[in-house]
């Protein structure tokens, strides 16, 4: 089963240009999630408000590449279910996506991160991702994060973890190195130079 949204050549060109297939690409400006190309192997269901894809799901988009076994996509809530049937001009656009839910054998590759887990909720409008699983792995340019429940903000590259989590730097990367502290970070204490000492008096 193949589900198409117009302008596929533009999508593929954008994927290559933005390095979506790289393991650790550099973060890019966030844009609306449009021009999506989706394939699946076990059927799909579509309505003006949501779509469901089953089995071997693959998603190609200018903002991400995704693999899973079950995918739910939600369109804007103002889509009119009767618009398409009535031939009206306000028929829903399947290129505008407000949220996706991906489940089972999850792999997400975005500009700035690669994510592996069991279930993910992604909101393209604010670029927030929640990933859950028995083991969740998030790879960024400098490190690997391991846990069971992460909330990841692609815009700020901020990550929050619920429950146990582990951070592992990549070979050759020292996460504690550097001298330019970000705003709000505690500053190192100043070292005080001892004043000149006065030699003690000596007895004649």
Q: Ranked by mean pLDDT, which of 2-11, 30-39, 154-163, 172-181 comes out on top?
A: 154-163
For the chain, the average pLDDT equals 74
pLDDT of residue 118 exceeding 70, the answer is yes
Q: pLDDT by residue (tens digit) across 48-80? A: 889 999 999 999 988 789 999 999 999 886 655
Q: pLDDT by residue (tens digit) across 171-195? A: 888 766 655 555 666 666 666 666 6
C-beta separation of 155 from 127 below 8 A: yes
CA atoms within 13 A on the CB side of 155: 10
Of the candidates 146, 137, 141, the one whose C-alpha atom is nearest the C-alpha of residue 170 is 141
- The residues pairing with 10 across neighbouring beta strands, listed in sequence order, are none
Among 1-15, 86-100, 106-120, 190-204, the least confident range: 1-15
Verdict on whether the full-model pTM lies above 0.75? no
Which ranges of 43-111 would DSSP assign to H, the alpha helix?
A: 83-86
Q: pLDDT by residue (tens digit) across 161-176? A: 999 999 999 988 876 6
> Is residue 143, in this structure, part of any structural domain at all?
yes
> Is residue 113, in this structure, part of any structural domain at all?
yes
pLDDT of residue 23 exceeding 60, the answer is no
> Is residue 148, in this structure, part of any structural domain at all?
yes
> Is residue 195, in this structure, part of any structural domain at all?
no
Q: How many domains is the chain partitioned into structurally?
A: 1
**CA-based radius of gyration for the chain:** 25
Q: Look up the CATH number of the domain holding residue 149.
A: 2.60.450.10
Sign of torsion, CA 145 18 59 78? Answer: positive
The phi and psi torsions of 42 (rounded to 5 degrees) equal: -135, 35
> Is residue 197, in this structure, part of any structural domain at all?
no
Average pLDDT over residues 114-126: 92
Among 2-11, 35-44, 58-67, the least confident range: 2-11
C-beta separation of 3 from 46 below 8 A: yes
Distance separating alpha carbons of residues 6 and 88, to the nearest angstrom = 19
Q: Are strands 64-74 and 113-123 parallel, antiparallel or unpaired?
A: unpaired
Domain of 57 in residue numbering reads as: 2-76+91-169
**Any idea what the Cα angle at residue 96 is, between residues 113 and 7, rounded to 5°?**
85
Distance separating alpha carbons of residues 180 and 112, to the nearest angstrom = 21
> Is residue 193, in this structure, part of any structural domain at all?
no
Quick one: pLDDT band at residue 12, thresholds 50, 70, 90?
very low
> Is residue 179, in this structure, part of any structural domain at all?
no
């Amino acid at each position: 089963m193949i589900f198409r949204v117009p302008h596929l050549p533009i999508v593929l060109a954008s994927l290559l240009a933005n390095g979506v297939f790289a393991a650790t690409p550099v973060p890019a400006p966030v844009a609306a999630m449009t021009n999506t190309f989706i394939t699946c192997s076990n059927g799909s269901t579509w309505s003006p408000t949501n779509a469901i894809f089953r089995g071997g799901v693959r998603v190609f988009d200018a903002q991400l590449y995704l693999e899973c076994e079950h995918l739910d996509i939600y369109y804007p809530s103002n889509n009119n279910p009767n618009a398409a049937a009535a031939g009206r001009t306000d028929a829903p656009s399947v290129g505008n996506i407000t949220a996706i839910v991906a489940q089972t054998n999850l792999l997400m590759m975005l500009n700035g991160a690669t994510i592996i887990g069991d279930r993910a909720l992604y909101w393209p409008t604010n670029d927030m991702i929640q990933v859950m699983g028995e083991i969740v792995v998030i790879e960024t340019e400098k490190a690997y994060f391991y846990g069971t429940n992460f909330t990841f903000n692609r815009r700020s590259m901020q990550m929050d973890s619920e429950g146990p989590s582990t951070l592992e730097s990549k070979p050759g990367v020292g996460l504690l190195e550097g001298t330019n502290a970000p705003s709000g970070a505690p500053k190192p204490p100043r070292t005080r130079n001892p004043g000149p000492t006065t030699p003690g008096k000596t007895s004649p």
